[in-house]
Structure 1
């Protein structure tokens, strides 16, 4: 059973999420909290697996919670669920290694699957969230040099980070879609990742 807390300053959203998520037999909503300070106080004294965390809250916001979790080396997965998709908030979530970032426009099924995904150690970031970071940003390959990727693999990583699908990458690089899939399999192995979205997040870090 996944022990989950919901942290959001809007009581209607908190209670609605609790009702929706509690339907799933694999997740137990152990508490709902209205600000970041209450969240940190709670996880200091209680067993929690996943935090469903809003970014903008009074007293202590989501970024500050993430910073404290990282500073204290607390072993809890964090899934950001917020209305806001501003690049600075997304960058903060990536900086402090949030396990996922999805928007409140997501379907209940996507939210529940997101909770389960981060609990099992997989990252989940909305495509539109990743795309936000691409706009007007100039990337180098320094972030991924340590993985000793080939030039072609680096090209594919950059295109994944730009949000291109396998088919679009194949058209861009004049490769078959099967060859692109093989490259991505090799990239995932070298970077010790499980999903292509994680490649983009690691590159953007």
Structure 2
């Protein structure tokens, strides 16, 4: 991975480390934009390292792993991962994900998002509403949360809900503010599961 990433002019690999603890220490003592972490690492796993790096540094963690089980994905997102990619991802897409996270976005592979969507759905077969506290939100905010949980982009929501993308962005900001969440992936999990716990 280091050799591949170093072939891209816009990426500089500062260091490779042996385990999660070393990753945290390196990010604490060096200016690092992005940290690529595996879920399973010796001494400290990638989820624990992600949490510490997110809380104590300005580094943005991305999980790059072979593990696509629901628990790993959820734990990583809850801990502050800004991306979750599988190691069989094309190198160009990994590069694009790094650039996207660097520019303030969250990146989940379709296969990862599909697993979240399928396995976190708490609506029962009668279509009952999810277990979130609906009194916190306006009907429009609930509509937008549902659309985010379905994986719709702001552009797609704009067409579906007949409101501008700017208005949607304002609603999303309001939802983030009310819930204390940080990004739309967490909104989707919160909406589908009722909490981030």
Q: Which residue matches 2:96?
A: 113
Structure 1 stretches of at least 4 aligned residues deviating more than 4 Å after TM superposition: 164-167
Q: Which residue matches 1:190?
A: 171
Q: TM-score, normalised by structure 1?
A: 0.71
- Residue pairs, 1:11-160, within 5 angstroms: 17-71=1-55, 73-137=56-120, 138=122, 139-142=130-133, 148=137, 150-160=138-148
Q: Flag structure 1 segments of 5+ consecutive residues without an equivalent.
A: 1-16, 171-176
- Residue pairs, 1:169-188, within 5 angstroms: 178-180=159-161, 182=163, 185-188=166-169
Alpha-carbon distance in structure 2 between the residues aligned to 1:86 and 1:185 = 35
Q: TM-score, normalised by structure 2?
A: 0.74
Q: Flag structure 2 segments of 5+ consecutive residues without an equivalent.
A: 123-129, 175-182, 190-195
Contact 2:148–2:188 (CA<8 Å) still a contact in 1?
A: no
145 and 79 in structure 1: CA distance in 2 versus 1, 3 angstrom threshold:
farther
Alpha-carbon distance in structure 2 between the residues aligned to 1:192 and 1:107 = 32
103 and 181 in structure 1: CA distance in 2 versus 1, 3 angstrom threshold:
farther
The alignment partner of 1:102 has SS state of strand
Question: Of Structure 1 and Structure 2, which has the larger fraction of its residues in strand?
Answer: 1
Alpha-carbon distance in structure 1 between the residues aligned to 2:147 and 2:96 = 26
